[in-house]
Structure 1
């Protein structure tokens, strides 16, 4: 019997957000709006998104013994997330510096802080917590060795969802445990060796030809070992692929984007929750794109995440 629909193992940051008319070029200074501080971090975002949707959710993370850490814990508890696995101390709480332009696009720089102190030993010490979860979701704002330990110690029957963000080379055993691997277009290109620069296509890397579109990327990613792959495509929705089956595109509802911060985290949390309920991958992704679409219609990350009722009304 599982106590949690979803356990998130990941980062918890304070998001320091400034609105700008345009993002600065190298060496350039631009004026922005007043600074606002929001609870964030990919791990904490996913946990809050799942909790708001009604999933029984727990978070394994590390925050500092400071005001930002207390802000994050308060946000988790308000969403109904079990914070017994959140460790306190070791370094200041992580911080994300975010600029948002009028179109809603954002640029982010992360100072990991306490997130970098979430260790494989912490994962081993939380073995009982992992054993109580139907699905475990991880990202790469914590050390890769910690993510690898989660993959190695995943209990039998549990499902691992990995969003490799920010992208980094992934060990074969981590890729093999992913079900699914969730990537956006840049992350897909990075893993396949096409690019080392965000948003800019480069030369074909060591993996050889990766094709010209998401269907080809999905086939190439599956060849690296994950059990399934989901590629998020922004306003175009998502593409899902499983070994032995044709890739399926899932459309997103049309919405007016205000701020895309945290939308990918909301999508991944919703996907992981619905997979834990036993839904097929395409059906889970169809729900998740609606959650992600709802999230971009409001400012902020966690503050923008919808309830199940709001998703149903979209």
Structure 2
């Protein structure tokens, strides 16, 4: 079984601080860590860790390049069992870098990132004509590289979309999706404005139009909607002591991909993903938490 993740790969510089500095102020961090980041990348690492005992192979397609910073991404992915297909192997431009600051007391984080910036990841070319995206039982896309994400969506057997915030490319991706997992911040331009949060979620699900739509709200219940059969519900998020919330959504999506690939029904898959994201937020650092799964 194979899961394909297509999207952003970054170098994340993570520092923990007791408080955020003010303007023109410096603070000493408690710790510094460097890891590969980006929604699709973190989801791939999560899926590879969860899927390894089940024989699930995870492949990430992204733009990394030949810059020395790219070696940090490659090494992290290899250490966690993710196969990388680099669409820009000869590029000398540095990969995107995200500066992540985590408050030690609450686990809340701030992120400064240019995401993909001007870097465009196309579709990897094979020996013959056409695309060389590997066949997969389930494909996850995050929309950060439009050409790549669209190609992956159109060729996917089953498509899971990480819809963190609206991007124009989603108009081309969403019609191919089986499951769209939206954050509470996601705003579809066709969704009718409503007063209540519940009504807003329902309007979003209708605008997205996928067979299954999931809307996450951090520590609040996750809401889900299906069209065949028409149904909806919500799943509680058990309270946990938050130590580090960076990448919690990515962990959720990676776990959701594994559960869906194993043909769990949607509520069961969401429950599983909630549990995995809960493990993520209770441990500091980008990778330490994986050993507690």
**Short-chain TM bin:** 0.7 to 0.9
- List runs of 5+ in structure 2 lacking aligned partners: none
Larger fraction in helix: 1
Secondary structure of the structure 2 residue equivalent to 1:218: helix
Compared with structure 1, are the counterparts of its residues 169 and 128 closer, same or farther at alpha carbon in structure 2 (3 Å cutoff)?
closer
Q: Report the CA distance between 1:234 and its aligned residue.
A: 1.6
Secondary structure of the structure 1 residue equivalent to 2:8: coil
Alignment of 1:259-278 (within 5 A): 259-278=244-263
CA contact (8 A) 2:222 2:234 kept: yes
The CA distance in 2 between the partners of 1:259 and 1:104, in whole Å, is 4
Compared with structure 1, are the counterparts of its residues 23 and 52 closer, same or farther at alpha carbon in structure 2 (3 Å cutoff)?
same
> Who is 2:159 aligned against?
160
Is 1:233–2:236 an aligned residue pair? no
Compared with structure 1, are the counterparts of its residues 262 and 185 closer, same or farther at alpha carbon in structure 2 (3 Å cutoff)?
same
CA contact (8 A) 1:23 1:30 kept: no
The CA distance in 1 between the partners of 2:281 and 2:49, in whole Å, is 16
Compared with structure 1, are the counterparts of its residues 219 and 283 closer, same or farther at alpha carbon in structure 2 (3 Å cutoff)?
farther
> Who is 2:13 aligned against?
16
Q: Report the CA distance between 1:248 and its aligned residue.
A: 1.6
Compared with structure 1, are the counterparts of its residues 208 and 305 closer, same or farther at alpha carbon in structure 2 (3 Å cutoff)?
same
Alignment of 1:232-311 (within 5 A): 232-243=216-227, 244-305=229-290, 310-311=292-293
Is 1:110–2:113 an aligned residue pair? yes
The CA distance in 2 between the partners of 1:97 and 1:7, in whole Å, is 26
Compared with structure 1, are the counterparts of its residues 275 and 257 closer, same or farther at alpha carbon in structure 2 (3 Å cutoff)?
same
The CA distance in 2 between the partners of 1:247 and 1:30, in whole Å, is 48
CA contact (8 A) 1:45 1:302 kept: no
Secondary structure of the structure 2 residue equivalent to 1:98: strand
The CA distance in 1 between the partners of 2:106 and 2:155, in whole Å, is 42
- List runs of 5+ in structure 1 lacking aligned partners: 193-205
User: Which of 41, 45, 50 is matched with 2:42 structurally?
Assistant: 45
Q: Report the CA distance between 1:28 and its aligned residue.
A: 5.6
Q: Report the CA distance between 1:211 and its aligned residue.
A: 4.2
Is 1:95–2:91 an aligned residue pair? no
Q: Report the CA distance between 1:85 and its aligned residue.
A: 5.1
Q: Report the CA distance between 1:47 and its aligned residue.
A: 0.9
Secondary structure of the structure 2 residue equivalent to 1:242: strand
The CA distance in 2 between the partners of 1:83 and 1:223, in whole Å, is 34
Q: Report the CA distance between 1:84 and its aligned residue.
A: 4.4
Deviations 1:245-275 (A, max 9, x none): 3322122232211111111111001101111
> Who is 2:188 aligned against?
191
CA contact (8 A) 1:177 1:227 kept: no
Secondary structure of the structure 2 residue equivalent to 1:82: strand
Alignment of 1:73-92 (within 5 A): 73-84=74-85, 87-90=88-91, 91-92=93-94
Compared with structure 1, are the counterparts of its residues 232 and 274 closer, same or farther at alpha carbon in structure 2 (3 Å cutoff)?
same
Compared with structure 1, are the counterparts of its residues 305 and 125 closer, same or farther at alpha carbon in structure 2 (3 Å cutoff)?
farther
Compared with structure 1, are the counterparts of its residues 143 and 113 closer, same or farther at alpha carbon in structure 2 (3 Å cutoff)?
closer
RMSD: 2.7
Q: Report the CA distance between 1:185 and its aligned residue.
A: 0.9
Q: Report the CA distance between 1:168 and its aligned residue.
A: 2.0
Deviations 1:93-127 (A, max 9, x none): 22111111231111112234688231246699884
CA contact (8 A) 2:36 2:77 kept: no
User: Which of 193, 196, 200 is matched with 1:209 structurally?
Assistant: 193
- TM-score (normalizing by structure 1): 0.80
> Who is 1:199 aligned against?
none
Deviations 1:195-227 (A, max 9, x none): xxxxxxxxxxx6433341245413432333222
